[in-house]
Amino acid sequence: MSIQRPARRSWAEPWKVKVVEPLKMTTRAERERAIVEAGYNTFLLRSDDVYIDLLTDSGTSAMSDWQWAGMMMGDEAYAGSRNFYNLEETIQKYYGFKYVVPTHQGRGAENLLSQIAIEPGDYVPGNMYFTTTRLHQELAGGTFVDVIVPEAHDPLDERPFKGNIDLGALEALISKVGAKKIPYVCVAATVNMAGGQPISMANMKAVRELTDKHGIKIFLDATRAVENAFFIKQREPGYRDKSTAEILLEFCSYSDGCTMSGKKDALVNIGGWLALNDKDMYEEASNLVVVFEGLHTYGGMAGRDMEAMARGIVESVQDDHMRARIGQVEYLGRRLMDWGVPVVRPIGGHAVYLDAKAFYPQLTQDQFPAQTLAAALYVDAGVRAMERGIVSAGRDKQTGKHHYPKLELVRLTIPRRVYTQAHMDVVAESAACVWDDRAKATGLRMTYEPKYLRFFQARFEPL
Ligand SMILES: *Cc1c(COP(=O)(O)O)cnc(C)c1O
């Protein structure tokens, strides 16, 4: 019998391995002990007890030899480091913004933007919330309003741009509260909490037209804007022959600035920035950054970190890199779909999201189905994932009740340039085993709940 040749060419990685990091293997008995000690929260596991770590793609990328060489070129001057100027020029070139304020990571930039732009009583519309982004908006006295398209909440809807802004919902908010109460629209590209779904260029342009009519600014959460650009290249008519870099530049041109976590797209372990086109806002930000992060030419980063991030940006916009990056995530997603394991569709940019509600129809949302599933995955094969459901959604700041998100997901997040196709096979096999055992799950009870961003440190025990 002959094996059929696949019709498509492979997405194989455009790099080879130069240094390896051995992984520790654990037994099932060891993992059962470890998850109890961690209070059934994968954030509280020791990474030494993890085999394949898909907790996050944040700060977990492998750097290239060119980035490591850049680390040796660190200029650790307190003020005016040459690495800052290289970073600034690189951001200006690839993202197109005028002014750059470095920060220690994305939330540092979110804090600065929120403090500068938001007045108490303001509303900040966005395409689905992100944990740290919404918290900083709330700490500044604002109220986040979700204006994402409704299909974003349906894990089976196959539409290509489920991160889009619902223009009708945005317009309704503007007429209800008035444009003066809306300092900016926060546009995330891609949308992490919706499953890494992209927003289209056409939608971004339309948001720009609408906000221009009302004098409202747009700030991007550009954390995964390069992945978003690659999806536009793949899916949106008219963009196939443009490079990822060209698409990124056009996309950013419809906004007034961005917050950025360099720990994602930009292929570094730490770092971030705030970018702005408005000179007055920039002056305020470069003053405020001194209070929270450090001088405006380092913002909490060492010179070598800024150099690694500048070089990471250059590598991140290469089409070959993105094809392998998105291709690997897609590969894992396809395996799971072929085996009937329920996942969010279409497969997103940085992660495959398991649909915990479909795994465990016997559990109510108060019994934490996604938290339960993440713990079960770890015990099965040492794969660490993250809950993105009711625990991550937190409580309503007015009523104190749980937010009940429509999606109850477990995120298998793929670090960039770290794991191989064989690792993806192990992950898929483990998720399929947990799927086979789904009827046995009985849920969890929360025994400790921290006040802020509870998903990081909450503890649970089995029901
Ligand atoms: C990670 C992330 C942030 C916050 O960035 P940090 O570097 O973790 O502080 C903001 N928005 C999105 C969409 C993210 O994924």
Q: What is the per-residue pLDDT across 348-404, written as a single tens digit (0 to 9) for each?
A: 999 999 999 999 999 999 999 999 999 999 999 999 999 999 999 999 888 999 999
Active site (annotated) includes residue 399: no
Nearest residue CA, atom 12 of ligand 1? 223
pTM across the whole model:
0.94
Is residue 388 annotated as part of the catalytic site, yes or no?
Answer: yes
pLDDT(194) > 60: yes
Measured from the Cα of 193, ligand 1's closest atom is 13
Residues in the chain: 463
- Segment 318-342 shows an average pLDDT of 97
**272 bridge partner residues:** 103, 261
Under the banding of pLDDT at 50, 70 and 90, the label for residue 18 is very high
| Pocket residues: Cβ below 6 A from ligand 1 | 58, 105-107, 130, 132-133, 188, 192, 221, 223, 261, 263-264, 272
- Nearest residue by C-alpha to atom 14 in ligand 1: 223
- Is there a catalytic annotation at residue 455? yes
Which one of 78, 448, 452, 456 is the catalytic residue? Answer: 78
Degrees, nearest 5: CA angle 423-231-416: 30
pLDDT of residue 5: 74
Return d(Cα 298, Cα 293) in angstroms, integer: 8
- How far is 315 from 94, CA to CA, in rounded Å? 11
Query: Chain-wide mean pLDDT for the chain?
Result: 96
Largest CA distance in the chain: 71
Give DSSP secondary structure letters for 237-267. Answer: TT-TTS-HHHHHHHHHHTSSEEEEETTSTT-
Q: Are strands 52-53 and 383-384 parallel, antiparallel or unpaired?
A: parallel
Neighbours of 19 (CB within 10 A): 7
pLDDT of residue 7: 67
Our mutation pick for probing the ligand 1 site, out of 43, 110, 129, 130, counting the most ligand atoms within 8 A of Cβ, is 130
Amino acid (one-letter) located at 41: N
Domains contained in the chain, CATH given? 28-50+319-462 (3.90.1150.10), 65-316 (3.40.640.10)
Task: Find out whether 297 and 84 touch, Cβ atoms under 8 Å.
Answer: yes
